Structure 1
Amino acid sequence: MTTKPPPPDDQPSIPDDVWDQFVRDTESDIRASAPKEPSARARMVTERLRQQDAQDAHEAKRREAKQAKQAKQAKKAKKAKKAKSEPEPTGWRTGPAWQEMDGRATRKRRWLGLLGVLLAVGMLVIVLNPSRALSLLPGRSSTSSDGGTATLPPETAQPSTAPSEEALPGAPTLKEPFLGSPALQYADGAAGIVVPQAKPVGHMTLKQVDFALRKAKEFLVDSNLNPATLRGARPETAIGLIDPRQADWLRGVDAAFNKPGKKQDPLWYATRYDPTELKLVGDIVKTRGRMTFKEGTYGSVAVHADYTFVYPFTQAAAGSTEVSRTIVRRVLDVEVIDPVRYKVTAGKLTMVSYNQDTGNTACYVYDGYLHPAFASDAATGSPASGPTTDPYDRSKDITTQSDGKCGSVSRS
């Protein structure tokens, strides 16, 4: 029960019913306005919303920082591009002092000086030896091992004229045995025998044609470039390529090597010198020519090879320094016939002809060896009776060039 305080002496008293109503209204208002503790679910929702707001604020801050960084980089790149496109004023890094420190100006002057020297040397070479200078022009292939002179490209057809004379021919030496000769630009050894691209002909497949071409080259290499053959040995590899069914050919070969003579000369089949008389200068023989093929008899493949070999010799005596060159041109015609269709030996060459013409060797000497003439010695053998010919002239056939007579050469 609520009691009301006694009224002061100077205040009028409040009726009891009014006071009770006031007390009831006051208590109701207090309970309605008093704070209430939220429920657990309400607390969870509130916390989730607070975390989401914080995350959104963090992401917004990160985006602002990234955008600011990108804007800064773009501004820096733009500034660098502008600085690169606009030349710096003289004296600021690009001035003479900076160029000297960098070394570029010095190197540039050196290169210009070197270029001037090279141009002067080139002009001197052209004046003194125009033919050698022309050999360095485009159209010449790889560099030869002899004096750095460019090698002629492979011969693809019979030349129309003989090679031109050297402007300043000079004389061959032990160091440069091909100096003053067209052979200076010939290929070295077997590299000069270029086998053409094979293709089927007649009854022969591509593989059989390729075999014929490779065996023809093997025959030429063994009979004209093999060091043992050159020093007088029998060219056993080349002889072994001849079809055993060609008994007449093989009998002629055996007779020539067993007992050389006018009617059976080993030089018809191979290039040879006597090591007691001569020695080859260096280990290079120069080679120039071409190889072709076509359909032969009975659907075979017929190979035609026409090559010139140049041999530099000096005398075998100790201290000899004089060099003399002998030039041998050989024309080989062979066929490879299908052994399934005809009675031939598989893997062998059928010989058709093997002709040769030799420049600078003694006439009418039939011991089976080459005998080049040296200016310091008396001539060996009988004097030449045939015409004077150019042994480097490949524009003529062998038969029309020498007519079977022993003549002299216009150059070696």
Structure 2
Amino acid sequence: MPTIDEPGPGTGGPQEHDPFEGLVLDEEFVRAAGVKEPSGRARMLAARWKDNPPPENAAWRPVTEVRRSRWRRRARRVGAAAPRRHGVRNALLVLLVPVLVLVGLAFTEKHSTGVPESAALPTLGAATAVPSSAPPAVAPETATPEHPWAGSPADSWPAGPDGLALPTATAVGVFDQDRVAKDLALAKAFLVAANMDPKVMAGGYPQTAVDLTDRGTGDILTKELSHPTEEDDPASWASRFDPAFAVPVTDEVKVQGLITFEGDGEQGMLVHADVTFVYALRPGPQVGRATPSTPAPAQQQPTGAGSGAKPVGLVRAVPGAVDVQREIVRRRVDFRFADPARYQVQKDRLWLKQWSSDHDNTLCGFNGGYLRPSFLVERGGASSGPSGGPTIDPYDWSKPLDENGDHRCGTVSRS
């Protein structure tokens, strides 16, 4: 193939003046050309018909039909008729095809989950008021890693930080609207960092949550994390699971609850949080391998400790199936924001006034700084403390949380 530097044909003869010398065949020249060069086939037919033109009634095809746009170069079904109309009709078909595909996919997904439609509850958004009653009953279903919320009211609850709405900020006492909004956001940030952070849920240290508190509160929380006891258990304010005994099957956390605020006179402002978190977990490698010694049951739980409600009755697991259990944790936390003109406070830091919690579908008597979900292999064994408390519905947050902490290990009506 000749290159740019090679001479072209006839260069050995006398040099003739080239009428196109200096002409640049760039894109502007091509677009400006008023006449297009006929194709090779057109020149061939013109030469053939110069002396012997075809009959006037003979069938012929315009040469331009051999040029087709790329989107029409598609295989058609055998026997399919060629499209006769285009323009608006084809444009509508192009728009309708992806819509029909999406509808079909949505229909397939909806009917391939194996969850009866009658078992589903209406999807809930972030709560704006305390409910008047407990969530309605849900058709019993076995939770799986693919469908961890099946058979639970939490299936219809929102998930993650967006499921926890903040109230509209208004000026309170010495705090203007902007300051109230920032303090509300701080309270929510603490709840999220302590209860929805995947690393904390997997047993990690809740450093972000601790860093949001003032020095006094931070010292208390750090001490509990370092030396957890029955009275000072960090599981009363942080949702952590020992990976040896419980592993989250999803980072998703279902949530329902409220954050409210009010003036506290000369003390400043109080922010109240009453939130229920639901977690889905599978057994860790140590579950069922050995029977731990029976811990001393906590007959009198102090404020800040969970109720340790026992699970529902034993249900046999399907052989080979993953045992997925849900732990339901309800927390009541009060944050105080003091008037900086009257008290020594750290700006943009939280002061935890008090907190209490209920841990439901959990083993009783464990105070090692982690939540201990109850799995089928452990139910009825010596690892669960005795029951002396009432049966409760862990999804019912229409009733106030017992902040006196004098309830004993009870039983949950559903999990």
Partner of 2:179: 208
1:304 is aligned to 2:272: yes
Select 1:281's aligned residue among 246, 249, 255.
Answer: 249
Q: Give identity over the alignment, percent.
A: 36
Task: Work out whether residues 203 and 299 of structure 1, in 8 Å CA contact, stay in contact via their aligned partners in 2.
Answer: no
CA gap of 1:175–1:128, structure 2 versus 1, over 3 A, is closer
Matched, 1:224 2:192: no
Q: Which residue of 2 aligns with 1:398?
A: 401
1 CA distance for matches of 2:117 and 2:146? 19
Gapped runs of 5+ residues in structure 2?
Answer: 1-82, 287-319
Question: In structure 1, what is the Cα distance between the partners aligned to 2:224 and 2:187?
Answer: 21
- Which one-letter code corresponds to 2:253 in the other structure? V
Contact in 2 for aligned 1:332/1:355 (Cα 8 Å): yes
Structure-to-structure mapping, 1:355-370, within 5 angstroms:
355-370=356-371
Matches within 5 A, 1:327-346: 327-346=328-347
Q: Does the alignment pair 1:387 with 2:359?
A: no
User: Where do residues 175-190 of structure 1 align in structure 2 (5 Å cutoff)?
Assistant: 175-190=146-161
- Whichever of the two has the greater Rg, that structure is 1
Amino acid at match of 2:248: L
In structure 2, what is the Cα distance between the partners aligned to 1:232 and 1:183? Answer: 23
Is the CA contact (8 Å cut-off) linking 2:214 and 2:351 kept in structure 1? Answer: yes
Q: Is the 8 A contact 1:224 1:271 kept in 2?
A: yes
The answer on whether the counterparts of 2:274 and 2:333 sit within 8 Å (CA) in structure 1 is yes
Larger RCO, structure (CA 8 Å, separation 6 or more): 2
Task: Please identify, of 200-209 and 257-266, the stretch whose mean Cα deviation from structure 2 is larger.
Answer: 257-266
Work out which of the residue numbers 227, 251, 260 in structure 2 matches 1:259: 227
Q: 2:143 aligns with which of 169, 172, 177?
A: 172
Which stretch shifts more, 303-312 or 368-377?
368-377
Cα deviation 1:353-400 (Å, max 9, x = unaligned):
111111011111111222211223344331322111110000111107
Shift of 1:219: 0.7
2:152 alignment partner AA: S
Residue type at the aligned position of 2:170 = K
Normalising to structure 2: TM-score of the pair? 0.62
1:281-310: per-residue Cα shift (whole Å, max 9, x none)? 122111111111121231622211111100
CA distance in 1, matches of 2:267, 2:176: 11
Equivalent in the alignment of 1:130:
118
- Contact (CA 8 Å) 1:386, 1:402: kept in 2 or not? no
Task: Tell me the amino acid that sits aligned with residue 234 of structure 1.
Answer: Y
Residues 163 and 393 in structure 1, CA contact (< 8 A), matched pair in contact too: yes
Q: How big is each residue's C-alpha offset from its partner over 1:335-355, in whole Å with a ceiling of 9 and x where there is no partner?
A: 222313332222222221111
Contact 2:125 2:163 in 1 (8 A): no
Aligned mates of 1:308, 1:406 — CA distance in 2: 18
Aligned-partner Cα distance in 1 for 2:182–2:368: 35
Q: Which whole-Å CA distance do the structure 2 matches of 1:158 and 1:399 have between them?
A: 16
SS in 1 for 2:378: coil
Aligned amino acid, residue 280 of structure 1: P
Specify the SS of the correspondent of 1:332.
strand
Instruction: Report if aligned partners of 1:389, 1:401 keep a CA contact under 8 Å in 2.
Output: no
| Structure-1 separation of matches of 2:265 and 2:228 | 33
Q: How far 1:401 sits from its partner (Å)? A: 10
SS in 1 for 2:376: coil
Q: 2:411 aligns with which of 392, 404, 408?
A: 408
What residue identity is the alignment partner of 2:141?
A: G
Are the structure 2 counterparts of residues 373 and 163 from structure 1 closer, same or farther at C-alpha, using a change threshold of 3 Å? same
Query: Structure 1 pair 206/314, CA: closer, same or farther in 2 (3 Å)?
Result: same
Q: Which residue of structure 2 lines up, in the alignment, with residue 326 of structure 1?
A: 327
Question: Residues 326, 301 of structure 1: CA spacing in aligned structure 2 closer, same or farther, 3 A cutoff?
Answer: same
Q: How has the CA–CA distance of structure 1 residues 344 and 178 changed in structure 2, closer, same or farther, with 3 Å as cutoff?
A: same
Cα 1:189–1:128, aligned 2, differ >3 Å: closer, same or farther? Answer: closer
C-alpha distance in structure 1 between counterparts of 2:176 and 2:267, whole Å: 11
**Higher helix residue share:** 1
Instruction: After superposing the two structures, state which structure 1 stretch, 349-358 or 249-258, moved more.
Output: 249-258
Decide whether the 8 Å contact of 2:246 with 2:373 is kept in 1.
no
Q: How far apart, CA to CA, are the structure 2 residues paired with 1:348 and 1:401?
A: 27
3-state SS of paired residue (1:220): helix
Cα distance in 2 for partners of 1:402, 1:296 equals 24
Contiguous gaps of at least 5 residues in structure 1:
1-99, 136-150
Deviation, structure 1 residue 311: 0.6
Q: Give the whole-Å Cα distance in 2 for the aligned partners of 1:400 and 1:406.
A: 15
Letter in 2 for 1:186: W
Determine the C-alpha separation between the residues in 1 that align with 2:164 and 2:370.
24
